[in-house]
Structures are given as structure tokens and as C-alpha cells.
Chains A and B, each alone.
Chain A
């Protein structure tokens, strides 16, 4: 998969629904993100952002993620 056209979730606009294209993370963390619903093809929306950390809406639930993770999820 090429990553050129994707942007990290960290840069996504607040309130705009995006689709996850790719997740770059270590296995263990990726697995946990997946069980929370962060899989390729899922719709995701940024609800709030606080100095890089984000609250996002995914599969009808709210999940808080750190900036480090938000930069590894591409939409």
C-alpha cells in the first residue's frame, strides 16, 4: 500500500468523518487499536483535540488516543 495520498489522523479536521486507510504501529498496539474498532475501512471522526491528544468517534464509541498514535493512523 502506498501512503502518499493519506494523511495522519492527527491532521484531520474536527467534526469531519474520515475513513481509515492504513495503520502503522507495532503489533501489540495495533492489535489493541483493532479490537477498539480502528481497522482499515472504519469511519472515524475527531471530536476534540487537546495539545495533540485526540478524542475520536469510532464505531459509535468515543476513544481517547495520544498524539503518537494519531500520527500512525492514516485516513
Chain B
């Protein structure tokens, strides 16, 4: 929860502090704590209190508290257009008189009145503090003046009333010396007895009574009662029958567009174009190039097939290049064949004779530049520059493979994330997001999370970093921590290549693998939610769900783009810092090692330091079915960015460049893993500690090193245990391994997990013990 500082455009000496939106100065939510501490401790020169004109009464509650702070206050009434549209009227001059501070009407949407209000604040800062005009019921005022008399003299005059009221409310955040001054408790208790309510509620009620009086004078309402448009929309959208279907349709549209259509298109462009070989400007020429390239590929296939056939017939092909005429004479009778598959899956067999072979030899590889405006990708451009500058090989490797390769892979997800963020910003801006939390609350409550946990998890399907950051809207500390810990269980965009790899290599692309990964993620969240809620750390009553729902309205394009950029840029910043650093470290560890010539750069990754580390820790993963050092190394590089797992296997199996799903080495991998081991590897990578960027986000949101380590430790341990069970039990079912010690241990772990889920809550246990004793 943050406040934002900025300078006023009109006068650079004026510093503006934007405090989070709050309902009151009583510290219930994190926002309130932040705002209140700032106002009391930093004591700004003036306060601009922006209130929502469409629900003035509730908003003035905070205003009455602000005027007691002894700081000049200016009230700006926003949403005056909505008020006018409803046919209502607010008399600002009258209101100013009643409140004892200047009142302006503004429209943040249209940008009107803001300058005037800002100038008024600057002017007010030079004047004396706002004096609260309101008084409470006589008995309350009497108690307050009694308390006031007992306050020490060192409290500034203008703050006396504030502290008197806080003392009366028994506010725990004010200095203890004030609260416990002799006689004060007696005064409070007497008033409470007289009014038959607790002191805090007395003050609250007094405030609302006072506001009620002001409103009567200054606010003319046209339609009292009755349903507003927002209410009517809510009656449909949160209807008990329609809520979930409408929700499912909205989510499907958002997901379909941002992940499968526009998202994939832009992601491919960034990964293969911007951070790959390059791209055609506006796509012109791509089709022509692809056609030419296809034709060229066919010719090379013909050559390969002919040479292979010639070898099979006992002809020495080593002369094919050095003495083509002799070779042609010798292979004159050879006829090979190539099979081509058309788009409609029909196949055609082409014979390849010596003539075809010779024609094929003439074919030239098409150059990308010949077919349109070709813009080379960043690695190509940088590579050329480095080549020209004659930069040392190791530095070229670091920059191209390490930095650009690593950071580029991560940045490749940015466009897709931005598309997703636009949708989320729209859902947030129009007011539907708050309804989602309401709709999902009943379901999430069942496993110890809040309805607000859904939004982080939804964003987490795109990327865990903004997902974890979205948990900020959850006020309750326990709910928020639990959401942060479980959000990254959901497969994010970067984990999809791992799923594709395992599905393709081991399960011949079976369609159940990908959905099962999401199922594993959701199950992990539910199980963790239930287990964690029963630990002492998270025990206690669930936080009650209270949330204001904004009125439905169309958000402006500017606000959507701003919100998109805010989320996106924080991810990009991460890519520039944490990810950059960890890519360099991993690159160094992979490419440097001890050889017979001493320490230095190694050609083969299997001689690198990372391979050494991998071999040293591989035994840890043996019980999960993948104790080879390559798998351990792949999992470790996944900590930089999850999709690295695919690339690392490629490099370790001797493929310099592999497709996103590692298609080239599927055969190698299927010999390397048993199916049970492969699925265990997949599950571990889905659930274990997230990538370094997400860990960074967890640290920032937890704001505590201890909790960050706990979260990562929990995730990794959970992943280890689940993978262990998957492998041990999966192997027995598939018949790879007999029933043995491992199986028994796996069953015991599952039983332990079930016990953790069904055992009574820790706190209740204590209570029951007390009852029986």
C-alpha cells in the first residue's frame, strides 16, 4: 500500500502527496493506517479532501475527521456531473459555511475545476488551520471538554480536540501516556453508561447525526429511494442464477482474446521477431518468403534422400562434392523418393532421380531480405555490432545468449500481459471486478481464502508477478499472505512450454496433460488453503467480507491505459533488475567451469559449474524419479524464468536452438524419463518456487524476508511431496517399479496430507480443551 509523491505543475515548490482512498481515520484497512500515519506524523501544510458527490453523506464522514486534525482542509466534490444527471443539487457555498472550509466542485473525468481547487489548497496552506464547526450531543461535548482539561499542556492547541476525541474513542494508536491519564477512563465509562453504547459508536453516531443535518440544508435530492441503474445491473449480474454463467462468459472472452488470439500473435512477434531473427514490416513478404523457403526445404530433402538411397545401394557418397561428375555416373541408376504432406494431410511421393538431384543442388536458400522490408531482430543487430567491434567471444556469449536471450524470453511475454491487463483494467474500471470478488467469495471462503483472492489468481494465469501484486486489494493480512503464497501455483504463461514439452515428448501430445496442469494448480491452491488455515499461523475467524461496490460506469481510455502501464511497467522493471541479474549468474555458472586448462569458459555445458552443482544436488530429486543432473539443472534454470527449462534441456542434450516446446529432442527425452518421472518433473516445476521475478514480487508484497522464505519454502516442500507421490504411485500403477518402501512412504504422505486437511482448527482445539478441563 503506497502513497505517491509528485510536484504540482503550477508551482514546482508545491509537493503533492497522494494518499490511498479511505473511509475513515480509524485504522481498519492498510490504506487507513498509511494515510492516518502520514497525516498525524508528517503533518502536511494542507489537505485536499476529494469526496464523491454521488454519495456525499458517507464521504463527509471522513471530512469531519479531517477537519479535527488542525490542518487547513479544502473539500473538492467530484462526480458533480453524476449528481447533476440524477437531478440532484449540492449547494457548495452553504456546505463550505457548515464545514468551515472552502468547497469546490470538480470533475476528474472531464478535468474541470481541478486547477481552482489546487490553487485554493495552496492558498489555504498559508492560512490558519480549519476549525471544526461541528459539535456533538451536550453530554458527549461535556465529556470531551473534561478530557481536554486533563490533556498535558505540550499538545498544540489545534490538536487538542483531535486527541480528546481519540482518547474518548480509546484509540490504541495514540500515545499511551494520553490514554492512561488518570480520570479519563472514568469519564468515558460514565458517558457510555449514560448513552448505553460504546464510546466509539457514540462518536460515530454523533458524526452521522451531524452530517445528516448538513445534508438536509445543502443537498437537494430529486428521487429519494428507488433503484439506480447500477442497482438494476447488479440485480442481473449478481443474480443467484445468472451470476456464475455471466461470469464464466466474461472470463472466457477475456481469456480467449488475450491468450489465444491477439495475445499469441503479439507474443510470437516479440519472441520470434523482435527477440528472434527478425520480422517483416507490417508482415509484407512473409507469405512469399515462407513459400520460397518451403520450396527450398523440399530441394534439400531431395538431396538428403538421394544421398541416403545412394549409400544404401553401396555407393560412396564422399565423392559427391569433390568429384560430382564421377558421382553422377556412378549413381545414375539410383532413384530415391521424398514424401511430402500437403495441408489437407494427403501425402504425395515424389521420385528423385540423378537429374532431380542435380537440379536440387542448384537451389539457393532464399534470403529474407529479398521478399519485403525485413527488420532484423535485436539479437541479430547486436550480434552484428559486437562482431564489428571484435568483442571477445565470452562477452558476445554473455550479451547475446545470457542477457538478451534470458531477458528477451521474459520480455516476450510483455505484449500478451499488456493485452490481459487492458481487459483487467476495463473490468476494474467499469466496476465488474468488485462484483467478481463478491460472486466468488462463497466458493473461496470454503477453503480459507477470500473472494478477492480470485483476481490475483486470474491475473496469475498470465503472469505471476502482477498476480502477486494484485493481492494488495485484500485488507485482511492472513487472507493476503495466503493468497500471495498460493497464487503462483496456477500455471502461468511461462509454464505452458514445459507442459507442451512433457505432453509432446512423453504422452504423445495427449490432450489431458494441459488441463491436468491447471487442475493440479487449482487443487494445490485448495489443499494449501485448507491446510494453512488450520495451522496456528493462519488460525482464527475468517475475515468478514465487506467491500464497497463502485457504481457501474464506462472507464475512460486514458485510465485503462494508465492502469495497464502501471502493472506492465513494474514487470518490465523486474525484468531489468532481478531477471537480468539472475540470467547473468546462471549464464556464468553454465558456461564457466574447471577444465584441464584450469578455470575458464567451457564449450560443453556438461563441464560447467552449473552441471557440477546439478550433479551435486541431483540425488535430492532421485526419489521423484528424475535424479539425473540434467533435470536438476533444468529445474534450477527454471528459477530464472520457467520457460528456460525447455531451452536448458535442449542445450544439455546438444541442441543449440530448440522450438518453444523443444520438439527437436522429444525422442531423447522420452528415453530419458519414464512417464511417471516426467509427470513428476512437470508437477514439481509447476508448483515449486516461482521464477525470480515472482519471488521478487512476493518479497515486495510480504514486506518481510521471513515470510518470503516461508512462502518459497512451503511451495517447494509442497511441490516435492506431491511430485514424490506422483512418481512413486504412478510408477507402481504403470508397472515400472514394484510395490515397495517408496510406495508406502507416498501413501503415508497422502494420509498425512488428508489429516492436515480434516483436523480441527488449531485455535478451536485450545478452546475445546478449556471447556473439557
Contacts and interface: CB of A to CB of B under 8 A. Distances in A.
5 contacts: A31-B24, A35-B61, A50-B238, A63-B547, A63-B548
A1 B551 CA distance: 35
Contact of B546 (A17, A40, A60, A65): A65
Contact of A31 (B200, B208, B439): B200
A45 B26 CA distance: 26
A27 B243 CA distance: 33
Nearest to A58: B58
Interface string B434-455: 1101110110010000000000
A73 to B, nearest CB: 11
A10 interface: no
A69 to B, nearest CB: 5
Contacts of B37: none
Interface in A27-58: 27-37, 39-42, 45, 47-53, 55, 57-58
Closest 8 CB pairs of A and B: A35-B24, A66-B545, A60-B55, A35-B23, A62-B549, A32-B28, A64-B438, A34-B204
B10 interface: no
Contact of A30 (B62, B201, B231, B437): B201
A68 interface: yes
Contacts of A51: 240, 442
A52 B442 contact: yes
Contact of A37 (B57, B198, B445, B550): B57
A35 B240 contact: no
A66 B238 contact: no
Nearest to B61: A35
Given A1-B196, A60-B58, A69-B545, A49 B240 contact: yes
A36 B437 CA distance: 18
B208 A39 contact: yes
Interface string B414-443: 000000000000000000001101110110
A63 B445 contact: no
Interface string B205-218: 10010000000000
A53 B548 contact: no
Interface in B19-38: 23-24, 26, 28-29
B438 A55 contact: yes
B111 interface: no
B773 interface: no
B180 interface: no
Interface string A4-32: 00000000000101000000010111111
Given A50-B240, A53-B442, A62-B551, A31 B545 contact: no
Interface of B: 23-24, 26, 28-29, 54-58, 61-62, 196, 198, 200-201, 204-205, 208, 225, 227, 230-231, 234-235, 238-240, 243, 434-435, 437-439, 441-442, 445, 542, 544-551
B439 A50 contact: yes
Contacts of A45: 225
A50 B243 contact: yes
Contact of B235 (A31, A33, A47): A47
A60 B441 contact: no
Interface of A: 1, 15, 17, 25, 27-37, 39-42, 45, 47-53, 55, 57-66, 68-69
B292 to A, nearest CB: 59
Contacts of A42: 208
A60 B234 contact: no
B57 A59 contact: yes
B438 A37 contact: no
A25 to B, nearest CB: 8
Contacts of B61: 35, 37
Nearest to A51: B442
A39 B23 CA distance: 14
Contacts of B547: 63-64
Contacts of B549: 55, 61-64
Contact of A34 (B201, B239, B240, B544): B201
B546 A64 contact: yes
A61 B230 CA distance: 10
A50 B443 CA distance: 11
Contacts of B230: 62
Contacts of A25: 544
Contact of B544 (A27, A52, A57, A66): A66
A62 to B, nearest CB: 4
Contact of B545 (A27, A48, A60, A64): A64
B545 A32 contact: no
A36 B546 CA distance: 9
B205 A66 contact: no
A21 B689 CA distance: 50
Contacts of A62: 230-231, 234, 548-551
Contacts of B198: 27
Contacts of A66: 441, 445, 544-546
A32 B32 CA distance: 11
Nearest to A15: B227
Contacts of B23: 32, 35-36
B246 to A, nearest CB: 12
A62 B235 CA distance: 12
Contacts of B240: 49-51
A35 B438 contact: no
A17 B225 contact: yes
Contacts of B24: 31, 34-35
Nearest to B548: A63
Given A35-B61, A37-B58, A27 B548 contact: no
B231 A57 contact: yes
Residue from B198, B231, B542, B546 whose CB has the most chain A CB atoms within 10 Å: B546
Contact of A36 (B231, B235, B441, B548): B548
A29 B548 contact: no
A54 to B, nearest CB: 9
B548 A31 contact: no
Given A39-B204, A53-B441, A55-B234, A32 B58 contact: no
Contacts of B234: 47-48, 55, 62
B597 to A, nearest CB: 68
Given A31-B200, A61-B58, 17 more contacts: A25-B544, A27-B198, A31-B26, A35-B23, A36-B546, A39-B208, A42-B208, A47-B227, A47-B235, A50-B442, A53-B438, A57-B231, A60-B54, A64-B548, A68-B544, A69-B544, A69-B546
A59 B205 contact: no
Contacts of B551: 62
Contacts of B434: 64
Nearest to A25: B544
A63 B208 CA distance: 18
A62 B435 CA distance: 11
A35 B62 CA distance: 8
A53 to B, nearest CB: 6
Nearest to B197: A40
A36 B544 CA distance: 14
Contacts of A39: 201, 204-205, 208
B474 to A, nearest CB: 14
A29 B542 CA distance: 12
Contact of A53 (B26, B28, B55, B545): B545
A50 B438 contact: yes
A47 B243 CA distance: 14
A2 B551 CA distance: 36
A35 B545 contact: no
A52 B56 CA distance: 29
A61 B431 CA distance: 13
A23 to B, nearest CB: 8
Contacts of A17: 225
